[in-house]
Structure formats: structure tokens, C-alpha cells
Amino acid sequence: MVFKSKIKWVALLVLTLSLGSMVAHLSMTKFSSMNLIQYSAKDALSHDFPNIVSPVIRNKRLWGTVRSLESLQPYANPRNSYPVPNENTNGFIFAKIFGGFEKIRSSICDLVTISRLLNATLVIPEIQESTRSKQISYKFKSFSYLYDEEQFIASLKNDVNIVKSLPEHLKAARRSNEFPIFKPKNSASPNFYIKEILPNLKKAKVVGLIITEGGCLQSILPPSMSEFQRLRCRVAFHALQFRSEIQTLGRQMVERLRAWGQPFLSYHPGLVRDTLAYHGCAELFQDVHTELIQYRRAQMIRQGIISDELNVDSHLQRENGSCPLMPEEVGLLLRAMGYPSKTIIYLAGSQTFGGQRLLIPLRAMFANLVDRTSLCSKTELSDLVGPETPLPSDIFQLPRPKSESEIKEEWNRAGPRPRPLPPPPERRIYPHEKEGWYGWITETDKEPNPSPRDLRMQAHRLLWDALDYIISVEADAFFPGFNNDGSGWPDFSGLVMGQRLYERASSRTYRPDRKTIAALFDITRGNMYHPKHDWTFSVKEHLNKSLSEEGLIRQSLLSKPNSFLSHPLPECSCRISSLELTKQIEGKDGRVLYGDEHECPIWMQSAEAVGVRNDDVESAEDDNDVVEQQERNGPDFTTSLTSTIDHDEEWDPND
């Protein structure tokens, strides 16, 4: 009895202590301050990407501006007499634009320029990728799905007369195709429009244009038409503003990237199926992706887009600089430049041909590789798309297996005997082979027509490219995986580089020469992850040169003949006279490549516009670079890159 009473007292004591502890915790909770937890990009993404640390010191060698280009300023205003357009124009021009984000942006700029040239009224163009037939949201029209119509019209009121639609008495005639329709090439000259289009415009009062090649006017115009070039800049960099929902979400994504207190780099792989097929880069991929590229190349040959053979040496194309830099190679280049493994890299591009498998090496080197799905929730992306009607589910179902009786019946109906043995059973198609859009290649040799889901995804890619475009322009550094490809089509990286050059020429925009990069990788192919010191120095030297005048001149030679928006110099820029002027550099055709910019107006000649930076830290770093280069260029440094690297010591991974 005594033992049982002791147990009761112990149990009572434990209950009393537990009750006292609970009362104490409740009291602390009551008197403590409580706040609702709000969404924080820094906290949320640091959970997914733990390698991102607190704010770090900004390394000016990696993130600083290019001093030699600081005198260039954006200035696309008219320089000469430029009258406001008359309301009594020669007629209306309506257009249908086919293609993705890059082709749409370039085509709209050409359309406005042509309307000014012909003194015509431009009807808001129709973007075929975002028409109602693609089952996009009922909230948007074709043009307003991507761009702000009101801003577009208001910004160009002193340049071109723009209307949202044809007058009522002309709409019926358009539906019955009573007006002449032309399909100009992207290299069409101004004389073509003056001699061929203008007479039809004056006669019929309405002319239609179908644009499929990413433009309808040649890139380089005569010097006498420099005002038309500046008009292109005003359209691309001022009038073409994304609709408010896209701009708001894009700014939020930039703020979330900057919430870590670190600079970030934007990288666009440029791995697009059409471009890869055009240049014959199929052998750089594996498995089904090689077949898909070859199939698309065969299509281009039948359509007359390509006059070359179907099978080409992809590795030779890569050495010529015609193929893109693979993500693994870009990661090695950034590491050679000195970017730490914790660098934030934003992956731009609505699609990367080859999938996530190609990005594995880059993610291994730079764990903080993010994209729009990392920065935005599914709700934010769906709100950007708008309300859409649900599509029927497109779930792949395996064919019903045949029974033994059905197989015997087919064998009995096979024909007279003797007959050869039956063929071996076909390879089974597994469900994972039908997960992607490319699943058709496992069953048939002919690519099927796009499904409603495919058409809708093509429209969605315009929005994803618009978000990536905003972030790439605002990034502290930009690295293109593929641009200046020579196909004649505008490319995403080229447009980004052009706008960064226009808005802030001194921004850190890499312009690598893929042919030189391929030669460097061939030298150290067996030692890519542990290169030698001189190889790393050669990479740094080449990429640093690509940031400055040397890279600009090369870009002008390769990119401007195909797309003016990728290199809007010197027409759309001016130069601060207080800084040292550079020597004019002309090409073989007599065209000024660099140094022919006009002097900026007086209101731009201020210290706030550019300023002369005399940072002691940056000067010390520059001195260190000079000392390092002098040591490397001493008596023991040979000019032959190959022989030097062969005799150099192996690079220490921890260096």
C-alpha cells in the first residue's frame, strides 16, 4: 500500500510540472510578437538553392562595366528635318507575321519603317502564333497578347499613322481577298517597295504583306536613310513595350534575383531545332534528337531553304563556328573567367533542344542555375496566360495486345504455302518514349501536324521569351550560346545584345567567337576540367576582348548585315565629347563599323550621364592585370598557343 501511494504522488508531481510548463509556454506565446510570413524570394529560393550566401563584394573584374564604351549613349531621336506624317496617306498596309518571338519583333520594326517610307497607314499587325485559332485567352487580341497596343500607337504618333483595324467598308473586301498580297523577303530593298508595292497601294488603297523570314526590309540601308534606321530603334527600344502583366512579372523576377544582394548572369543556350538543322549540327546530340534534327533538315532541303546535302560533318561545322556552344563548354568558359561556383545564372529561352540532360554539366559547375519556373509560381504563370478553355487530355495508350487466336488467324490468312518465316516481333514502344512532343518518331517517319496543345504551347512560348528578354536585358552580364549564326534569321541573343548595346553600351555583354572557342577546346579536349594556366589565360584574353571595341567590330561585320537591331551602331547612339574619342574604323565595303557616332546634345553632356570613374580598387585590379600579363608575356612566354600549353603545368583545381 505504501508503494502504491508513492507512485500516485510521483504521478501527481509529473502532471503538475507538465501543467506548469504548458502555462509558461502559452504565456510566452501570448506576449510575443507575431507576424504573418510573407513570400520572400530570398528565403524561398535559398531553400532550393542553399549555395547562395549573404551579399558578397562585387568583383569588378567579373561584373564591372567596360570603360572604353562608357562614352556611348542611347540617342535615337531624329537628327534632321523629320515632318509629322499627314493624315491623308497613300493607303493601308496590313500584315500577317509568322514565326517566334525574334521574328515577330524584327518584323514589326520593318513594317513601321516601310509604312513611313510609303506614307501609308499601318494596321496593327496580326501575330499568327497568338491568333484565336491557337485557342489563347479571349482577353487578348493577336497583338495585345504580347505587346501594349496603346503604347505602340502613342509612341509612334509622330512617325507613322497607326490604326487598330481597317475601316468598315474595307473589311469585307479583305475577307474576300480582293486586295493584292505580297510575300517579301527579309532582304527586300527600299526600291522594291517604291517600284512594286507603292503603285499597287495607290491603286487599291490596301496592300497585304505576309512575313515569314523575320523581317521584310534589308538590314543595312544607305547612309541617306539613316533616319529610317533610327526609326527602327525607336520602335524596338521604345514603342514595343510588353503588356503590363508581362512587365510587372518581369520586374518582380528581376527583384527576386537581386534580393540575394549579388549580381547575376543571364545565359541563353540558343539550342533551337530549326537553327541546328540549318547548320547540320545533328551529330552533337544523341539518340532521338539526332533523328529529329535530320528530319527537320530534310524538310528544309525539300522547301528550298537549304541547298546543301542532308548529311554533313557536324564536328567540322562546329570547328567553323556554325554550331552552338554546348552548356558544358559555357560552364567551363565561365569558370575559366573566374566566376565562382555560387554565381547566380539565369537560364533564358522558352525551349532548349536536348532537354535538361544537356544542362547537367552546367548545373554541376554552377548549382545556382535558375529559370522562370524557379522564380515564379504556377499561379503567376497561369495568370499571365489568362483564362483558357481546357483541352482534352492527350494521354498515350499502348495498342491492345493481340491474343494467340488472333495471331494464328493472321498466319492462316497470310497466303499460299510455302512461305517465308514470319518477321520477328517489332520493338515494343514504352510509355516513356511518348512523353515528349517527339514521340511520333518512334512510330512513323512523318511528323504529324501540331495538335491543339502544341499550338497553344507555341503561343505560351512568346510569353516565356518575353519574360526572359526582360531579365536578360537587365542582367549584370549576358553570355550568348549561339548568335550571328549566318542563317539570316534574327535570333534571341542578337536582339538582347542589341538592346543592351543601345541602352548601356558599357554593360558586360560577351560576344565570343565560336570558331576561336572551338580551337581552344580542341587543344585541351582531354583535360577540359583541369586545363593549364595558359589555356585559362587565353580564354580570359579572348572573352575580355569580346567585351570591348574588338568584339563590337566583329559583331558589326557578322550580325548587322542580317539584323540591324542586333547592332544599332552608329545610327542610334551618340558619344560624350568630354571623354576621349576613338578612331573611326571602316570595313571593306566602306561602311563605318565603329567611331562615327554623332556628338551627344548638351543636355546629355553631364557627369551623371557617364561620369569619369577613378575607383582606387578598380585601378589596383587593373594594375594587377597588367603585371600578370607582363609576366606571361615575358621572355619565357611563346606566341604559339599550342606549344605553350603543351609545356605548361597542369592547372590545380583548387587554384
- Averaged over successive runs of 10 residues, the pLDDT of the chain (655 residues) comes to 66 76 64 40 52 63 91 91 88 94 96 96 93 81 94 95 91 82 94 95 94 93 93 96 96 95 95 92 85 91 88 91 94 95 94 88 95 93 90 64 85 73 69 67 77 87 96 97 82 95 95 94 89 93 94 90 92 79 67 79 63 42 40 38 39 38
Same domain membership, residue 235 and residue 336? no
Q: CA-to-CA distance for 432 and 453, rounded, in angstroms?
A: 19
At 212 the pLDDT is: 92
Residue 254 domain flag: yes
Same domain membership, residue 362 and residue 253? yes
- Residue 113: strand, helix, or coil: helix
What phi and psi, each to the nearest 5 degrees, are found at residue 293? -65, -45
Residue 597 domain flag: no
Same domain membership, residue 342 and residue 208? no
What's the DSSP call for residue 650?
A: B
* The three grid cell numbers given for residue 69, joined into one nine-digit string: 564604351
With 0-12 CB in 10 A as exposed, 13-18 as middle and 19+ as buried, what is 258? middle
Q: CA-to-CA distance for 422 and 213, rounded, in angstroms?
A: 50
Same domain membership, residue 256 and residue 162? no
Same domain membership, residue 200 and residue 346? no
Residue 538 domain flag: yes
Which of 517, 547, 565 is at the close of a domain?
Answer: 565
Question: Which pairs from 598-607 meet CB under 8 Å and 24+ separation?
Answer: 598/75, 598/79, 598/570, 598/574, 599/574, 599/575, 600/73, 600/75, 600/574, 600/575, 600/576, 601/75, 601/574, 604/73, 604/75, 604/574, 604/576, 605/576, 605/577, 605/578
Q: Whose CA is closest to 588, among 559, 563, 556, 564?
A: 556
Query: Residue 109 belongs to what domain range?
Result: 92-241
Residue 102 domain flag: yes
What phi and psi, each to the nearest 5 degrees, are found at residue 257? -70, -40
Q: Is the dihedral of CA 194, 200, 205, 211 positive or negative?
A: negative
Residue 217 and residue 93 in contact, taking contact as beta carbons nearer than 8 Å? no
Residue 556 and residue 567 in contact, taking contact as beta carbons nearer than 8 Å? yes
Same domain membership, residue 262 and residue 180? no
Same domain membership, residue 144 and residue 256? no
Q: Which residues have a Cβ under 8 Å from the Cβ of 373 and sit 6 or more positions away?
A: 381
Q: Whose CA is closest to 282, among 246, 322, 247, 252?
A: 322
Q: CA-to-CA distance for 503 and 321, rounded, in angstroms?
A: 28
* The three grid cell numbers given for residue 256, joined into one nine-digit string: 527576386
Same domain membership, residue 504 and residue 362? yes
Residue 340 domain flag: yes
Alpha helices in 49-88 (DSSP H): 60-63
* The three grid cell numbers given for residue 515, joined into one nine-digit string: 570558331
**pTM for the full predicted model:** 0.83
* The three grid cell numbers given for residue 261, joined into one nine-digit string: 544582394
Which of 565, 588, 610 is at the close of a domain?
Answer: 565
- Residue 105: strand, helix, or coil: helix
* The three grid cell numbers given for residue 236, joined into one nine-digit string: 524596338
Same domain membership, residue 253 and residue 225? no
Residue 42 and residue 264 in contact, taking contact as beta carbons nearer than 8 Å? no
Which of 197, 220, 241 is at the close of a domain?
Answer: 241
Q: How far is CA 349 from CA 237, 455, 482, 603, in A?
A: 20, 18, 12, 38
Residue 113 and residue 120 in contact, taking contact as beta carbons nearer than 8 Å? no
Residue 499 domain flag: yes
Residue 445 domain flag: no
Number of domains in the chain: 2
Same domain membership, residue 267 and residue 187? no
176, containing H or E segment: none
Residue 72 and residue 506 in contact, taking contact as beta carbons nearer than 8 Å? yes
Residue 15 domain flag: no
At 476 the pLDDT is: 96
* The three grid cell numbers given for residue 221, joined into one nine-digit string: 540601308
CA geometry: angle at 178 spanning 177 and 181, to 5°? 65
Expressed in angstroms, the distance from the first to the final Cα of the chain is: 77
Same domain membership, residue 347 and residue 458? yes
Q: Which residues have a Cβ under 8 Å from the Cβ of 75 and sit 6 or more positions away?
A: 572, 573, 574, 598, 600, 601, 604
Q: Which residues have a Cβ under 8 Å from the Cβ of 644 and sit 6 or more positions away?
A: 534, 637, 638
Residue 135 and residue 392 in contact, taking contact as beta carbons nearer than 8 Å? no
Same domain membership, residue 207 and residue 339? no
